[in-house]
Chains A and B, each alone.
Chain A
Amino acid sequence: MKKTTRVKMPQDQDISPDMSVDVGGLKLKNPVLLASGTCGYGVEIGDLIDLSALGGIVVKGLSLKPRQGNPPPRIAETPCGLLNSIGLENIGIEAFIRDKLPWLRKINTRVIVNILGNSQEEYASLARRIDGTDGIDAIEVNISCPNVLAGGLAIGADPNAAAGVTRAVKAATGLPVIVKLSPNVTDIVEIARAVTAAGADAISLINTPLGMAIDIDKRRPALGNVVGGLSGPAIKPIALRMVWQVAGAIDVPIIGIGGISSASDALEFLMAGASAIEVGTATLVKPSVAIDIIAGVRDYMKKNNFLRIDDLPIPRD
């Protein structure tokens, strides 16, 4: 378990808190990232917000070959949440490196590439391709998407398979490797331990819990894929619980994800033991929300005399 000693800011001095964090070797200017699948490849949102103000951006999940994604309807609104079955539509790693990365390189922020595959070898190939590419700072391994039949959740729910993919990616790259976990498991700690033992530099959690909605007028499932991933404020308590559980069990840094829509949400995750957070669905509703969150966390730290992000987690013993 990570132990922290709180360092109080000297009184009567106006010192700005240090917002920088080190997440398993990935150095961020502040702990706020945009979550994969909610900010495109950056360029889609780059004129609406100042991406350079962020700790980083996790681009849309990429596979070796382009993927078309799932049939529509792909989204359904639920109380305080969003169900999606996008199905990992993406342009493929080569098109990303050729068409999107040059633009991203000009932005002064960290770029984390989320990867997905159907086999250990596919994950390893993606990691090898990324390893020699300028402008990519870390890899987030998606073993947790609920919207594909092969790979995805099947890997994320099996500790051995999850560890195998982690090991394969680690062997293929020198970049920090963040493994993104699924909440659709009986014991999140078991999976977290398995990927940590396999060498994960950090863990991000959670991906979307599996859900469903039915359109009673059309008398059919609301999503073309029938089931989808639930995101948004509705899932925050589940995500926070899982971050707390995993933070109490493992030593590698955690990136908290799940329904974070405000600075107070972000602070809850940081106090639960996360070193950084990803903002997802909230960005779809308000593109600039991550910028507001950074300002809000900074204000809280100043007001409460915290010098560093690492001082925020609640001591457990």
Chain B
Amino acid sequence: MARYDLSAEIKKNEKLSDDVFLMTILAPEIARAARPGQFCMLSVNGNLRSDPLLRRPLSIFDSGDSGDISFLYKVTGRGTDILSQKKEGDSLDIIGPLGRGFRLDHSGPRILAGGGMGVAPLHFLAKRLEGAFSVILGAKTKGEILPVVKTFEASAERLLITTEDGSLGEKGLVTAMLEKELCLSKKNVLIHTCGPWPMMRAVHDLTVKFGTRCEASLEAGMACGIGACLGCAVKKTSGGYLHVCKDGPVTDSTEIDWEI
């Protein structure tokens, strides 16, 4: 699979809410090769400054024929803070597309269940999916997901929103809403999930209970993103570790030992 190490131009870096940004980069090679669920390594500092040192892995929010590729991110530390200050016309080093994406060949119904910034890879998936699917989006508060709700409305057959504080949609957790959906859904449903670890663990538990399949897009601290450093290890149920950057980020949820 082709992947590229480029210096690319930032076209937009929009502030969507207090701490959520959408960055669009012109990188036609990466945009053409990218598949839903894959990610890129973004250099926040340029090459000459060393603090913070590492690139940031961000999952692909959107990519298309225009040659643009975009990333939805929340400012959580120094790296994303520096990223948020980038302006249109700035250049940025980017490696991608990386990792294993979502399954696109499933013929049955699907449910996309995302929490917080976990909605980012699901957004790209929703744009590429053919046929009907449902989406459940969850967040702590509406500011986190309100900016992306509109784009899901266009593609999803059913869109369900939940926030922990009740500021948007139904008050509660993604998993409570998913359980209701699973009670209603037909057989052979495939769930695609991305979000905080406890949420994905709970989603996995539900899929075990309902006897259905689930793909989880994992997150882990990583240094290289290309399988060289082996830093992004996650424990497997079959023993040993898988590496999120090359064995994932999207993995069958039964492969993961969720009890950490």
Contacts and interface: CB of A to CB of B under 8 A. Distances in A.
Interface of A: 37-40, 44-45, 47-49, 60, 68-69, 71-77, 79-82, 84, 86, 89, 232-234, 261-262, 281, 283-289
B95 A287 contact: yes
B223 interface: yes
Contact of B43 (A76, A89, A232, A286): A286
Residue from A40, A84, A284 with most neighbouring chain B CB atoms (10 Å): A284
B227 A71 contact: no
Nearest to B51: A80
A15 to B, nearest CB: 30
A44 B235 contact: no
A285 B55 contact: yes
A112 to B, nearest CB: 16
Given A44-B228, A80-B53, A285-B55, A75 B223 contact: yes
B5 A233 contact: no
B258 interface: no
18 contacts: A37-B229, A38-B224, A45-B228, A72-B220, A74-B232, A75-B221, A76-B221, A77-B52, A77-B221, A80-B51, A86-B229, A232-B53, A281-B53, A284-B54, A284-B223, A284-B224, A286-B5, A287-B95
The A interface is mostly helix, strand or loop, or mixed, namely: loop
B230 interface: yes
B86 interface: no
Contacts of B51: 79-80
A39 B224 CA distance: 9
A188 to B, nearest CB: 24
Contact of A68 (B5, B241, B260): B241
Interface in B172-203: none
Interface string B209-235: 000000000001111101111111111
Shortest 4 CB-CB contacts between residues of A and residues of B = A75-B231, A284-B224, A40-B228, A233-B50
A38 B229 contact: yes
A112 B240 CA distance: 27
B192 to A, nearest CB: 23
Nearest to B229: A284
Interface residues of B, number: 34
A72 B218 CA distance: 14
B3 A286 contact: no
A68 B240 contact: yes
B93 interface: yes
B228 A39 contact: yes
Contact of B241 (A37, A39, A89): A89
Contacts of A81: 53
The B interface is mostly helix, strand or loop, or mixed, namely: loop
A285 B233 contact: no
Nearest to A48: B5
Given A47-B3, A68-B241, A86 B231 contact: yes
B233 A69 contact: yes
B227 A40 contact: yes
A148 to B, nearest CB: 14
Contact of B54 (A60, A77, A262): A77
Contacts of B107: none
B47 interface: yes
B99 to A, nearest CB: 13
Contacts of B221: 73-77
B180 to A, nearest CB: 32
Contacts of A69: 230, 233, 241
A74 B53 contact: no
Given A69-B241, A232-B50, A232-B53, A74 B228 contact: no
Given A48-B5, A72-B235, A286 B47 contact: yes
Interface string B26-56: 0000000000000000010001101111110
A84 B231 CA distance: 7
B3 A89 contact: no
B109 to A, nearest CB: 34
Contacts of A288: 5
Contacts of B93: 286
Contacts of B95: 48, 287
A36 B227 CA distance: 13
B243 to A, nearest CB: 9
Nearest to A70: B233
B223 A48 contact: no
Interface in B107-162: none
Contacts of B47: 286, 289
A35 B234 CA distance: 24
Contacts of A261: 50
Contacts of A75: 221-223, 229, 231-232
